[in-house]
Chain A
Amino acid sequence: MIKGPDMPARRKTSPAKLDAELMRGVASTAVLSLLAQREQYGYELVQAIAEQSGGLIRIGQSTVYPLLYNLESKGHVESVWRDGDAGRPRKYYRLTRKGRRRLSASQTQWRAVVDGMSRLGVLGQALAGSGVAAGRLR
């Protein structure tokens, strides 16, 4: 399982440290990617990331709100209180134009990273040039 930034990543072993460094920025890209499809609220985002990543990426419930507040302070997302399906108010987040640009840039970077790592054989021959990893992240 790939750990999100909320989880205690400070293990003493070297691979875990690499995991934490490798995954820095993944959560915000994942949130932006989901919000690009439609506006969503906090709990829904947590569930969606876990489900759509096949459980590989998990964002802690207590982490998603600071993450959303940060994105909001940067102008990548905006929030609005609106009644939900059951008629009760929820705070929905949606992507802004600036957030779309940021998402596009992140996608480009991730593609480059995955392609580069594939050419190096880090991801194995089967994945080289297939775009599977990039597609999953997207």
Chain B
Amino acid sequence: MTAPLSHFVLVPIWSWKSFKRRLTETIETHGAPRETNGLIIDVVTRTRLWPREQMDVARELACHFRDAEAAGQSPNEAVEAFGPPRLAAKLIRRAKRRQRGPVWKTWYASTRGLGIVTALAIIALAWHTSRVFLVQPTVAIDALAELNAAQPRIHAGARGYAPLLEAIASFRHPPAELIRSYGFEPGDRPENIRVHGEPVRWIDLEPGHPAWPLAAAHAATLTDTLDALGRVASSQGIGYVYRLGFDPAYVAAKVAAGGDPSQFQDPLPRSEWHNLIEGSVLSALLPHLSDVRELSLLLTLAADAESQAGRPDMAAQRLADAAAIGGHMLDSGTVIEQLVGLAIIRRSVDRCHRLLDASAERMDGETLMMLAHRFGGIGQAPGVRWRFDLTGERIAGVDTIQRAFSDDGDGGGHLTNEGIAFLHAIGSMNAESAVIDMHKAARLGRIVLFADRRSAQRFLERGYVLFDRANGRPLAELRDGDAASALHIFLEEAQNDPDGLLAGLMVPSLESAFERAVVVGGHRDALLVRLAAILFERANGWYPQQIDELAPRWLPRLPLDPWIDAPMRLRSDGATLTFYSVGGDLDDDGGTPPSVSSDAQQHVMCEHDRWPADGQGSPVDGDAVLWSGQIDGKPRSD
């Protein structure tokens, strides 16, 4: 039985009085005693049935009370015997509905199901809403323990942290008197000199520069520092234990090196956002990053000095130490440390090529083997792609937020609602979404995160201004890999800004990091192949024609070409030895680089869309040459 059309069309326009009047007329027509009219109407209207059904029930009840009267019951007795109208209406409504047709029953079941689903959704929404606005979960993540979980793999006695502190403590910039003759001005930073009016760091100088003798002479005085760095390099790892606040041993080393103790106050008042950032986040996230960078520069500078002084074996030792320290950084917990490690390795590889160019003939086989072993030990095996993740950054970020948004102001209380929102924002942090999510989070406070130039650029575009710490001028661009400096710049901005930054998170772009790792890995492989080729030539009297000839004696594992599933290529034409990847066109062009763009050398192992294309969008011909050098042209004897 389906609902009559009148139910859906006419009922809304029937007035209640009209229906009630018709109901009363029907009841009276069927002979019910007047005293029972109220009960019948009460029961009928309580049923909330369709009008036609209500009318049918009213007629039957009217007959019922008429029959009761005919049987000798008074109207009042009949009303009393009938029972409570509410229960009667309820039972009648249920029974009458069972008589309705399948269409109505289907519709009814559907609406009930929909109603249940809606109710559940509302409950769930209310639960989540109440959780955000009412619940304050207890801080439960021991972020530092998580970050330090990998630490025990290096035995305490084999960690390089202690000699690193020694190196920091013994490291000295040249005294001002010494570099004044090169343009040092009062007020300049002691590590700088002025060349043509521009500040230049003495530790960045290279042979041939007018001020180079100053740098080489000063480096020669830092024997304690260099020896300590040698012990860091020969350790199994730096073994830094992440902590909140500054490590007292580190502070002591910095003070001994002439640092300002006021820069290392710890613990700092948590209620002051600036101090919170510097006191907690920096120490956890960037342990001595700038120190490690600077000391690695000292090693390469000292290597140049040794090479200039005619001691290539000592120079090789310094470069191997620098590369080993870079390898230790590559094993660290945060991406920013790993990126610094890559920068150190790349610089060491370049200087090693320069050393071989200048002094390979004067280096004995033992030294060459030492270089091959130590550079080959980075990343464990040639051709390994060094991968990154943001685990350390995520942990540090969570820790920062827990401390910045705990209701006791000291990180030991409950998370505030803002803290919950932040944790959600960084919960699924990855290279791209981290920036986007934190942009959302930035609405809650003045959260800033940055990493490489691209990320920093986005903040510039969003109205954030970066200031150069050295001269106070706004920065238009940040150098890749200089995120540590960028963080200091942001922090200085925070101190100048009354609102300040609530937190600063460093989230390097994974894409950028991966790209850099692969490129650095490729150049490291090129150095290994060159060393193997030199040793091969010394043993055989000629250079190899193919890379296969080097394995396994001279090259335990052939470096893989990331473009194809095959080893990298080595080509010798008798005068030149070329080590290359087939590049984005996937064809071996004999070691000829593409003519279109020299950038292909840098993007040797990147995505296809980074390889230069021709006018039709196809990859241009050419190979990605990682290293090419002159050989003496000695023919192969056989």
**Is the Cβ of B99 less than 8 Å from the Cβ of A61?**
no
Assuming A42-B64, A43-B67, A89-B30, is B81 touching A65 (CB within 8 A)?
no
Residue from the list B82, B92, B95 in contact with A61, Cβ < 8 A: B82
- CB of A5, distance to nearest CB on chain B (Å): 9
Residues in chain A near residue B57, CB distance under 8 A: 65
| Residues of chain A within 8 A of B64, CB atoms compared | 42-43, 61, 65
A41 an interface residue at 8 Å Cβ cutoff? Answer: yes
Report how far A42 CA is from B81 CA in the complex, Å.
Answer: 14
Among A12-20, A67-75, A101-109, the stretch that binds chain B is: A67-75
A70 and chain B: residue at smallest CB distance: B95
Cα A66 to Cα B67 in complex, Å, equals 18
Could you say which of A44, A72, A88 contacts B99, with CB atoms under 8 Å apart? A72
**Stretch of B83-91, B206-214, B314-322 with 4 or more beta carbons under 8 angstroms from chain A:** B83-91
Q: Are the CB atoms of A63 and B71 closer together than 8 Å?
A: no
Contact call B95/A62, Cβ cutoff below 8 A: no
For the complex, give the distance between the alpha carbons of A70 and B91 in Å.
10
- Chain A positions within 8 Å of B91 at CB level: 6, 62-63, 65-66
Separation of A61 and B59 alpha carbons in the complex (Å): 15
Residue-wise interface mask of A (80-114) relative to B, using a CB-CB cutoff of 8 A (1 in contact, 0 not): 01000010111100000000000000000000000
- Considering residues A44, A47, A61, A68, which has the most beta carbons from chain B within 10 angstroms of its beta carbon? A61
Check A6 against B83 for contact (C-beta < 8 Å): yes
CB B39 to nearest CB in A, in angstroms, measures 10
Given the complex of chains A and B, what is the CA–CA distance between A10 and B96 in angstroms? Answer: 25
Q: How far is the CA of A90 from the CA of B98 in the complex (A)?
A: 22
Contact A69 B81 (CB under 8 A): no
Max chain A CB contacts within 10 Å: which of B30, B31, B88? B88
Using Cβ atoms and an 8 Å threshold, which residues of chain A touch B88? 62-63, 65-66
List the B side residues contacting A66 at CB < 8 Å. 88, 91-92, 94-95
Complex interface: chain A residues within 8 A of B61 (CB): 65
Contacts of B60 in A (CB 8 A): 42, 65, 91
Does B268 sit within 8 A of A, measured CB to CB?
Answer: no
Contact B71 A70 (CB under 8 A): no
Contact: A69 with B67, CB < 8 Å?
no
**Contact mask for chain B residues 44-84; partner A; CB cutoff 8 A; 1 contact, 0 none:** 00000000000001011101101110110000001001111
Within 8 Å by CB of B87, from A42, A47, A62, lies A62
Chain B residue with the shortest CB-CB distance to A71 = B95
* A91 closest partner in B (C-beta): B60
Produce 1/0 per residue, A36-57, CB < 8 A to B: 0000011110010000000000
What residues of B have a CB within 8 angstroms of the CB of A61 in the complex? 64, 68, 78, 81-83
Closest-by-CB residue of B relative to A86 is B70
A35 → B minimal CB distance (Å): 16
- Are A47 and B71 in contact, CB atoms less than 8 angstroms apart? yes
Chain A residue at smallest Cβ distance from B63: A90
* CB interface residues, B 450-480, toward A, < 8 Å: none
A132 to chain B minimum Cβ distance, whole angstroms, is 30
B85 to chain A, nearest CB (A): 8
Residues of A within 8 A of B68 (CB): 43, 61
Q: By the criterion CB–CB under 8 Å, are B66 and A88 in contact?
A: yes
Please give the distance in Å from B97's CB to the nearest CB on chain A.
9
Known: A41-B63, A42-B60. A88 touches B83 (CB 8 A): no
User: Is there an interface contact between A41 and B95, defined as CB atoms closer than 8 Å?
Assistant: no
Complex Cα distance, B83 from A41, in Å, reads 19
Distance (whole angstroms) from the CB of B430 to the closest CB of chain A: 61
From residue A3, how far is it (CB to closest CB) to chain B in Å? Answer: 13
Interface residues in B156-201 by Cβ distance below 8 A to A read none
Contact B31 A88 (CB under 8 A): yes
B residues near A41, Cβ cutoff 8 Å: 63, 67
Task: Report how far A13 CA is from B488 CA in the complex, Å.
Answer: 81
Q: For residue B60, which residue of chain A has the nearest CB?
A: A91
User: CB-CB < 8 A to A47: which residues of B?
Assistant: 71
Residues of chain A touching chain B, judged by Cβ–Cβ distance below 8 Å, are: 6, 41-44, 47, 60-63, 65-70, 72-73, 81, 86, 88-91
Nearest 7 A/B pairs, CB to CB: A69-B95, A62-B88, A66-B91, A43-B67, A66-B95, A73-B98, A62-B83
Known: A62-B87, A65-B92, A81-B59. 10 other contacts (CB 8 A): A42-B64, A60-B82, A61-B81, A62-B43, A62-B82, A63-B83, A65-B64, A66-B92, A67-B95, A69-B99
19 intermolecular pairs with C-beta atoms under 8 Å apart? A42-B63, A43-B63, A44-B67, A60-B82, A61-B64, A62-B82, A62-B88, A63-B83, A65-B64, A65-B95, A66-B91, A66-B94, A68-B95, A70-B98, A72-B99, A73-B99, A88-B31, A88-B66, A91-B60
